[in-house]
Structure 1
Amino acid sequence: MRLDELDRSLLVLLLERPRAGLREHARTLGVARGTVAARFLRLQESGVVSGLAPQVSPRAFGYAMLAFVHLDLAQGRLDPVVEDLTAIPEVIEAHTITGDGDLLCRVVARDTAELERVIQRLIEIPGVTRTRSQMALTQRIPPRVLPLVRSSRWSTDRPR
């Protein structure tokens, strides 16, 4: 999908003021509400805007610990392992990776004893051959994309 300056400006507004309505964004951009609504729908359908749900902090539910757990897998077991991971609520994210390990999981826990229980559940999944974990101490930069959208390096052209 090709993005233009209006798309970029709309994305910046959506990220800066997510609770404002499309009518307010249209006023700010100086375009018709229907134009903004059509652009927003196109951005959603193409996957540029991927969600509208609020971000909920696991800390609010007592999950004060965050760990990154690397999983090594037996050959050909990726899909069944991922399916089993979805049954563990403390696994809040998982990515296939290059380098050491096959999957990198973000895992939350209330305390070290719970983290150990979660890691033991991970080890018991058929196809998981090894785990390595690292506990996060302090989040220095929260998840963000606004600086990337604002970046002067942002381009609508495909790489040549």
Structure 2
Amino acid sequence: MKLDQIDRKVLDILQANAKITNAQLSKEIGLSPAPTLERVKKLEQHGIIQSYHAQLDREKVGLGVTTFIQVSLTGHKKDVTDSFARRINEIPEIIECHHITGSGDFLLKVISKDIASYQKLLLECINEIEEVANTQTMVILSTFKESKVLPIPY
């Protein structure tokens, strides 16, 4: 699907406020409500808009520690990678998993209640995955920018 300027504006607005009403969205993009709704539905049907989420305050829900873990695997064959990915997807505290280049194989973003719960997760879950050769943890001290908004190219 080729995106035009109006589609891009719709995406920018929805990323900033997914709770916006169709009436307000139509005013902001300069179309009537019916064609605005058609555009949003088309963006959803083509998989450009994949879902809508509530962004939570981690600390207010009791998740005070964020870490990145660089993981090296025991091998690089497809079955090793696939098995590791399946196991990682079973652990809810791992909110992101990226296959990377460099000295490690994967980069995990992990959210935990506190350091003790993180340590338990690392020792009893992640390091127990058969395909994990070693890990290196980076604890996030503070975050200066964290955005879920994609910069839509114009």
Q: Sort the TM-score into its range (normalised by shorter chain).
A: 0.7 to 0.9
Contact 2:22–2:36 at 8 Å: present in 1 too? yes
SS at 1:124 equivalent:
coil
TM (norm. structure 1) is 0.85
Q: Quote the Cα distance in structure 2 between the aligned partners of 1:141 and 1:46.
A: 30
1:103 pairs with 2:106: yes
Aligned-partner Cα distance in 1 for 2:143–2:29: 34
Counterpart residue number, 2:7: 7
Structure 2 distance, partners of 1:8, 1:83, is: 35
Give the count of matched residue pairs.
Answer: 150
Quote how far apart the aligned CAs of 1:14 are.
Answer: 1.4
Structure 1: stretches of 5+ with no match in the other structure:
156-160
Letter in 2 for 1:139: T
Match of 1:66 in 2: 66
Work out the CA distance in 2 between the residues paired with 1:23 and 1:79: 45
Deviations 1:77-134 (A, max 9, x none): 1111111112222111111111121111111122222211111121110111110110
CA RMSD of aligned residues (A): 1.7
Residue type at the aligned position of 1:90: E
Aligned partner of 1:78 in structure 2 is 81
Normalized against structure 2, the TM-score is what?
0.87
Pairwise mapping of residues 15-94 of structure 1 onto structure 2 (< 5 A)?
15-75=15-75, 76=77, 77-94=80-97
Deviating above 6 A after TM superposition, structure 1's stretches of 4 or more consecutive aligned residues are: none
Partner of 1:158: none
For the 8 Å contact 2:16–2:149, the answer to whether it is kept is: no
